[in-house]
Amino acid sequence: MTGVLLTVAYDGTEFSGWATQRDARTVEDALRGALLAVDPKAAGPRGSSRTDAGVHAEGQLAAFDASLPLPARGWVLALNQHLPDDVSVRAAQIVTPDYNPRFTSKKKRYRYRLLLDKVRDPLLRHRTWRIGYEMDLERLAREARAIVGTHDFKAFRSAGDERDVTTRTIHDVTVRRDGEDARCWSITIEGNAFLYNMVRILVGTLVDVARGHLPEGTIARALDEKDRARAGQTAPAHGLTLEHIDVDLPEEAGERWPP
């Protein structure tokens, strides 16, 4: 068997998330179907991040073991022939069998997109959270500084996350205009790992502070008190995109295609 690592992009609008679920359409199942169509003996995929229903990805990583000796280019082209239009294998490289990117992840980057508009825009409805009320973006940027560093993020996880260890390190948070459209802004958060709904709760809290619904210092107080009730709302899933995952690769890893 040969290990293969894929970079996968998808529009999460019509998916119930990454992970396989009974009676639901998931990205993992769509990718597995393509793998088995090309190589009936393939084992996997093993994803690196379990994105929620409606969340998008540009740089999801997934590994599998193959019995066919195809090069990286061959896997990209062959798998894309069997995937629906809302999923694409963007790149591949040969790795060792049983390689699992989930356990070698060093850093992940998420981008949350906001649309500041009084009126809904049908062209952006699946990729941005439309905010129709007044926002103080300088206030939002000041509040975001409290996220950076190593903290216990227990206050910023949903009830479905029951992990005992809730300390995470956030390396960087960036608030900027997203492209040339003055209505579009993005909040990019990069860290070593994330709790369930952590990014969406952080963004929802930042928005609540920016519109004056919560006072400045809310994030620092929620971190200190470790109380979910101190944080703000959970931002909708459709504004969130998993952009990039940095992993440790095996020494034997081949060249990525396309480069």
Which residues are tagged catalytic?
Answer: 52
Query: How remote is the C-alpha of 185 from its chain's centroid?
Result: 17
Tally Cβ neighbours within 10 Å of residue 26.
18
Buried b (16+ CB within 10 A) or exposed e, 159-168: eeeeeeebeb
In the chain, DSSP finds a helix count (H) and a strand count (E) of 5, 10
If phi over 0 gives left and psi between -120 and 50 gives alpha, with beta otherwise, what is residue 106?
alpha
CA atoms of 28 and 258, how far apart (whole Å): 22
Cβ atoms 168, 198 nearer than 8 A? yes
Is it true that the peptide bond before 101 is cis, omega within 30 degrees of 0?
no
Angle between helices 72-80 and 27-38 (to 10 degrees): 110
Alpha helices in 147-217 (DSSP H): 198-210
